[in-house]
A and B are shown apart, each in its own frame.
Chain A
Amino acid sequence: MAGKTLYDKLFEAHLVRQNDDGSSLIYIDRQVLHEVTSPQAFEGLRLAGRQPWRIDANIATPDHNVPTTERSGGVDEIVDPVSKIQVKTLDANCDEFGILEFKMNDQRQGIVHVMAPEQGAILPGVTAVCGDSHTATLGALGALAHGVGTSEVEHVLATQCLITKKMKNMLVRVDGELGAGVTPKDVVLHVIGVIGTAGGTGYAIEFGGDVFRNMSMEGRMTVCNMAIEAGARVGLVSVDQITLDYVNGRTYAPKGEQWDQAVAAWKGLVSDDDAEFDEVVVINGADIAPQVTWGTSPEMVVSVNDTVPNPANESDQVKIDGINRALEYMGLQADQNITDIKLDRVFIGSCTNSRIEDLRSAAEVVKGRKVADNIIQALVVPGSGLVKEQAEAEGLDKIFTEAGLEWREPGCSMCLAMNPDKLGAGEHCASTSNRNFEGRQGFGGRTHLVSPAMAAAAAIAGHFVDVRDFVKQ
C-alpha cells in the first residue's frame, strides 16, 4: 500500500465521522475571525439561539477595515461610518461570547494570517479555518488550513466541525536553489504562471523540494498564501526543524513537557517517501526570475525581463478575449517591455508580504535612495503591531521614511482597499499583495503583483526594474 501524504494524514487525524453520502465531518481545532466575514455568522448564532461550541478554539482581530494612519483615537475615530460599525460589531461579538480578540490598538493586532501564527495560535498538525481565502497561508506550519464562507464560519462556531470532502493531492516540487534576488513571492507567482489560476482547483498543494526545505517560515507563508491564486484552497509545507524553531516560545504554543510531547507528534507531519500524489509539478529553482503580473489574473505573469504577451500567439478564443480585455483594462500594449511600465503607487504589505523578512528585503533595496518623482505614494504597511515594533527596533521605519516611503499602522490596507488606502482610476501600482483583479485595489486601479524587493526597486526607479541588476549599482 502506498504511503500517505501530509494532507492525507492531517485529514484522517481530524475525521469525526464519515457520512454515508460521501461527505466527511472533520474537526476544526482553530478558527480565526475578522470583522468582514463574521458579523452575519454571529447574528446567525443569535437568531438560532446557539452558543459557540468551544470558545478557546477561536481568536479574532480586526484587519480589513482598519485605518493604517495614526489611529490612537480608537475605533470611534474611524472616519468611514460603515467601517466603524463593522469593527465595533466584531468587538461587541467577541465581548459577548468571550472570544479572545486583539482590538485595533492592541500591539498584537494585525492581519489575521500574520497575527495567528505569530501568536502560536496556529500550530503544526491543527486544522484551521477563517472566513478568508488566504487562510491557506497557515499551511506553511504543516497545518490543514483553508478559507471558508460565512455560513461555514457559523457552522464551525456552532459545531467545531466542517462538512467537507477530501481533496486530491498535488505536489509542487521546486528543486535546486534560487538565484540571488529571487524570493518566495517570485517562486509562487511562477508556479501560478505554470499551473494556471484554476490549476489547483480540487487539490491540496504540498510545496516540496530543496527550495522550500531551505526557505524560512515567512517565505513558506508567502508561498502557501497564494495557493488559492492557483485555485487550491490548501497549501502545505511539511514540518521540519525550521517549523519547530519558528513555533517554539510563541504565546499560545505548548511549553515544557507539553512542548516535548508536541514535537514528538509533529515530527510525523511529513508526506511518506512512497506517498502517491494525484499530480506532480516539477520546477527547477534556478529557472525562476523575478516575476511581475501584467494582467488581471495572477496567472497573467511573466519575468521582469519579458514582454507583455501578444494575443496573436494564442489559439483559444476565450484566452484571446481574456488577454485583450486585460490589456485594455491595464492600459498596456502587447509586446511592450515590462520594464517600460511606469508606476504611480507602490504598496508593500498584505498577508502575502508584510512580515519582518519582507520589510527587511524592501528596506535593503531602498536604503540610502529616494522614491522616484512620478510615484504619488509608496506605502509600507507592516502585518501586525509586533512586526511593526520589530521593524522599528531594527531601524527599518527610518530607512523607509528617509527614502520617501510612508510607514503605516498594521492592517490589510491597499491589498483590497476597504480602508482609505486605495488606487485612483488608471493608476499603476507595484504591489506585494496577492490579487490583481479589476478594481481590487480601487475602482479602475491597475495592480502589478511583485515581491517586496521588486516593489522597492520599482519605487526608486519609478518603473519596473530587475532588482538583481538594481542592487548591484
Chain B
Amino acid sequence: MKKFTTMTGIAAPLDRANVDTDMIIPKQFLKSIKRSGFGPNLFDELRYLDEGQPDQDCSGRPLNEEFVLNKPRYKGTSVLLARENFGCGSSREHAPWALEDFGIRVVIAPSFAEIFFNNCFKNGLLPIVLSEAQVDQLFKEVEANEGYELTVDLENQKVVTPSGDELAFEVDDFRKHCLLNGLDDIGLTLQYADDIKAYEAKARQQSPWLFDAIK
C-alpha cells in the first residue's frame, strides 16, 4: 500500500450530501477483475454526458462542463471536499480504487459511511472527518479562491489552509500507523497466528458444527 505522510494539493468542492458508491463508480465498471484503471470512470455519470462502457477510451467522451472535477480550476485535484454521509451504499472497494487512481488522496467530509471509510485506509487514501461548520468554511474558501490548496499532515493530524489555519482531526492509531508506513495488515494479523489457532481450538470444542461442515 502507498504510504501517506504529508501532502499538499488542490481541493475541489463536491457539494452534495449522501454521495453513494454507485455514484463514485457505476456498476458496469465493477466487472473488471483488476484493482487499477478505474480513474477515468470516477463519477462517470456526473462527469460525462453519455453512458460509459467498460474498457472504453474516455478521452473523446462528451464532458459535463458543470461537474466540479471538469472545471479547469480544479485540474489536478487531490483533496475532495464533500458533505455528510459520503460513500454510502455498496461496499465496493472500487470506489476508493477509482478515487485513488484519479489522484485523490484525501476526502474531507462531516461524516462517512463506515464500509467506505474503512476501505479508504486499505488503499492509501485518507478520509478526514471535520465538523459541519469547518467543512462549510472550507467550501466557502475553496469556492472563493482559485488555486486553493490544502496541506494534510497525518503525523500531526492536521489540515492546514492557505491562510495558515490548522484544523485538527482524529484518526485511529492502528490505521494511522498502517497509512504512515504503507503496511499490509494481513502481514500484521498473521503475526498473531498463534492466537488465532488457540481461538480455533477452543471454538472447535465449543461449536464443532462450525467446522468441516461446508465442503
Contacts and interface: CB of A to CB of B under 8 A. Distances in A.
Interface of A: 16-17, 19, 21-23, 25, 27, 29, 36-37, 39-40, 43, 48, 50, 53, 55-59, 64-65, 80, 82-83, 85-86, 89, 100, 121, 123, 125-126, 131-133, 146-152, 154-155, 158-161, 163, 165, 197-198, 201-202, 228, 231, 233, 252-254, 258-259, 261-262, 265, 297, 318-319, 321-322, 325, 416-418, 435, 437-440, 443-444
B45 A159 contact: no
A416 B190 contact: no
A231 B16 CA distance: 17
Contacts of B133: none
B26 A322 contact: no
Contacts of B51: 443-444
A57 B172 contact: no
A218 to B, nearest CB: 23
21 contacts: A25-B189, A40-B93, A48-B186, A56-B214, A56-B215, A100-B215, A123-B209, A146-B115, A147-B115, A161-B189, A198-B113, A252-B213, A297-B20, A318-B84, A322-B16, A322-B18, A418-B30, A437-B22, A439-B23, A443-B26, A443-B51
Given A40-B33, A149-B115, A82 B55 contact: yes
A70 B49 CA distance: 34
Contacts of B214: 56-59, 100, 121, 252
A465 to B, nearest CB: 29
A229 to B, nearest CB: 8
B196 interface: yes
A335 B203 CA distance: 57
Contacts of B208: 258, 261
B89 A437 contact: yes
A56 B186 contact: no
Most buried by A among B23, B96, B119, B213: B213
A298 to B, nearest CB: 9
A148 B93 CA distance: 9
Q: 9 tightest CB-CB pairs across the interface, nearest first?
A: A254-B209, A151-B122, A149-B93, A149-B119, A39-B33, A82-B31, A147-B91, A21-B173, A198-B85
Nearest to A42: B33
Given A37-B92, A439-B22, A158 B190 contact: yes
Contacts of B215: 55-56, 100
A202 B113 CA distance: 9
Contact of B26 (A25, A29, A439): A439
B199 A27 contact: yes
A56 B206 contact: no
Contacts, number: 202
Nearest to B32: A82
B71 interface: no
A58 to B, nearest CB: 7
Contacts of B111: 198, 201
Given A59-B214, A121-B214, A265-B207, A163 B93 contact: no
Interface of B: 15-18, 20, 22-23, 26-28, 30-35, 45, 51, 54-55, 83-85, 88-93, 96, 111, 113-115, 118-119, 122-123, 172-174, 177, 184-186, 189-190, 192-193, 195-196, 199-200, 203, 206-215
B196 A16 contact: yes
Contacts of A265: 206-207
B170 to A, nearest CB: 12
Given A25-B192, A100-B215, A198-B84, A325 B16 contact: yes
Given A37-B91, A201-B113, A322-B17, A50 B33 contact: no
Given A16-B192, A56-B212, A198-B111, A22 B83 contact: no
A159 B200 CA distance: 12
Given A40-B34, A439-B23, A17 B209 contact: no
A198 B123 contact: no
A12 to B, nearest CB: 12
B174 A23 contact: yes
Given A86-B31, A155-B186, A163-B189, A25 B88 contact: no
B172 A151 contact: no
A325 to B, nearest CB: 7
Contacts of A80: 31
Given A126-B210, A149-B118, A438-B45, A22 B172 contact: yes
A132 to B, nearest CB: 6
B199 A16 contact: yes
A231 B177 contact: no
A435 B30 contact: no
Most buried by A among B27, B115, B173, B174: B27
B29 to A, nearest CB: 9
A82 B54 contact: yes
A55 B212 CA distance: 9
A55 B26 CA distance: 32
A318 B108 CA distance: 16
A437 B16 CA distance: 13
B33 A443 contact: no
A439 B122 CA distance: 27
A27 B122 contact: no
A266 B113 CA distance: 31
